[in-house]
Amino acid sequence: MRYLVTGGLGFIGSAFIRLLAAERPEVEIVNLDAMTYAANPANLAQLPAGARYRFLKGDITDPAAVAEAIGDGIDAIVNFAAETHVDRSILDPEAFLRTDILGTHTLLEAVRERGIARYLQVSTDEVYGDVESGESIESSPLRPRSPYSASKAGGDLQVLAYRTTYGLPVLITRGSNTYGPYQYPEKLIPLFVTNLIDDQSVPLYGDGLQVRDWLHVEDHARGILGVLERGELGEVYNIGGGNPRTNIEITRRLLEGCGRSFESHVRHVADREGHDRRYAISSAKAHALGWRPQIDFEGGLEATIAWYREHESWWRPLKSGEFLAYYQRQYAHR
Ligand code: TYD
């Protein structure tokens, strides 16, 4: 078996490759990654000796790069390659449309031409938009509200259209907010933890009462593998952590874990434009495949804080150069 994993140097993609290498040693892994800002070869530095792993630098919007990665054939494509940060999508939407929609299209064309047996699109619960009450199920309407989530929804719709039109063997997973080691420090949890370790303040948007459902990256990777191996073709599967928390609750835990106080270290800043108040999904369909999150949230968060404390050499180089320019652009005016 040979799998093509795209975006495998990113946060969730690299967790998936580490999982495959550990638990499916018979699978040969080809990683196609454009090495844009959030990609990091260090995420895969600890692959087991003898892992059947090959890296190719290339962009999923480039048909030649995709063809090269497929080579003389592969059994499945798992597409993690994406622009993922909502705040960046508000500043610069175009890259999101290119990678998340056009890139998906390029991969689907390759699946069609080469007759690849399985294609899994890694998507997000953000495509359902703001969920006032209850939980989104897989057939709920897509109501994306940011350039990021609209781009991911565009990708999902292409995948489903290729199923209907060409009968392609596709699957979609929609994961909830993911946390854990190796997450680029622009997202809420790693940004706040690394700021707090450095005795800096953390920028809390608006009233901080927005709700996200937190999922450990290793549980997310296991969910994707479960859907890849046991999902029904043409179907969508929500993968939620089942840990709804307000941003203030998360912030309090991080402050506690880093020994800082709310009064001294929280900076209340202007809210994100079009900020979704709440995400909530039902994962009953993924549960029926036998998947369940295994990592308890409180313990997982504590271990994540400890990981960032113990891996300064991983994140400190990231918080320079491009990141500082972004941080300035994103937060200075708030
Ligand atoms: P984020 O990690 O960007 O994920 P998403 O927007 O995809 O849910 O943000 C999680 C929540 O944290 C979201 O409600 C926005 C909020 N947030 C802040 O309050 N301050 C910040 O600096 C960031 C990055 C996020």
CA dist 167 and 48 (Å) reads: 37
Closest Cα to atom 25, ligand 1: which residue?
A: 188
Give residue 330 CA to ligand 1 midpoint distance, Å.
Answer: 12
Residue 77 is encoded by which pair of tokens?
């494509």
Same domain, 201 and 234: no
| pLDDT tens-digit series, residues 248-265 | 999 999 999 999 999 999
Same domain, 24 and 148: yes
Is the distance from the beta carbon of residue 183 to the nearest atom of ligand 1 less than 6 Å?
A: no
Q: Which residue has the tokens 């699957």?
A: 171
Question: For the chain, what is the mean pLDDT?
Answer: 98
Indicate the helix (H) or strand (E) that contains 73: none
Question: What pLDDT is stored for residue 227 in this prediction?
Answer: 99
| pLDDT tens-digit series, residues 262-284 | 999 999 999 999 999 999 999 99
| pLDDT tens-digit series, residues 24-67 | 999 999 999 999 999 999 999 999 988 999 999 999 999 999 99
Q: Which residues pair with 33 in a beta bridge?
A: 57
| pLDDT tens-digit series, residues 107-164 | 999 999 999 999 999 999 999 999 999 999 999 999 999 999 999 999 999 999 999 9
Q: Which residues pair with 285 in a beta bridge?
A: none
Does any domain span residue 89?
yes
Q: Are 190 and 315 in contact (CB under 8 A)?
A: yes
Does any domain span residue 312?
yes
CA dist 25 and 29 (Å) reads: 9
Residue 108 is encoded by which pair of tokens?
């689907």
The domain tally of the chain equals: 2
Give the active site residues.
Answer: 125-126, 148
Same domain, 190 and 308: yes
Pocket probe mutation, ligand 1, options 188, 204, 251, max atoms within 8 Å of Cβ: 188
Closest Cα to atom 23, ligand 1: which residue?
A: 188
Q: Which residues pair with 122 in a beta bridge?
A: 173
Question: What pLDDT is stored for residue 83 in this prediction?
Answer: 98
Question: What pLDDT is stored for residue 19 in this prediction?
Answer: 98
Does any domain span residue 183?
yes
Question: What pLDDT is stored for residue 101 in this prediction?
Answer: 98
Give residue 24 CA to ligand 1 midpoint distance, Å.
Answer: 34
Same domain, 147 and 191: no
Does any domain span residue 282?
no
CA dist 142 and 154 (Å) reads: 10
Confidence band, pLDDT 50/70/90 cuts, at residue 211: very high
| Angle of CA points 275, 141, 212, to nearest 5° | 35
User: Which CATH number goes with the domain that contains 300?
Assistant: 3.90.25.10
Same domain, 186 and 208: yes
3-class secondary structure, 76? strand
Q: What is the pTM of this model?
A: 0.98
Does any domain span residue 150?
yes
Question: What pLDDT is stored for residue 189 in this prediction?
Answer: 99
User: Which CATH number goes with the domain that contains 154?
Assistant: 3.40.50.720
Same domain, 69 and 198: no
Burial (CB < 10 A; 0-12, 13-18, 19+), residue 14, is buried
Same domain, 45 and 152: yes
Residue 41's alpha-carbon distances to 29, 57, 83, 290, in angstroms, are 15, 11, 17, 32
Atom of ligand 1 lying closest to residue 275 CA: 14
CA dist 287 and 301 (Å) reads: 23
Question: What pLDDT is stored for residue 184 in this prediction?
Answer: 98
Is the distance from the beta carbon of residue 86 to the nearest atom of ligand 1 less than 6 Å?
A: yes
Structural domain for 117, as ranges? 2-178+215-239
Q: Does 320 have pLDDT greater than 90? A: yes
Same domain, 164 and 256: no
Give residue 113 CA to ligand 1 midpoint distance, Å.
Answer: 39
Atom of ligand 1 lying closest to residue 206 CA: 19
Question: What pLDDT is stored for residue 219 in this prediction?
Answer: 99
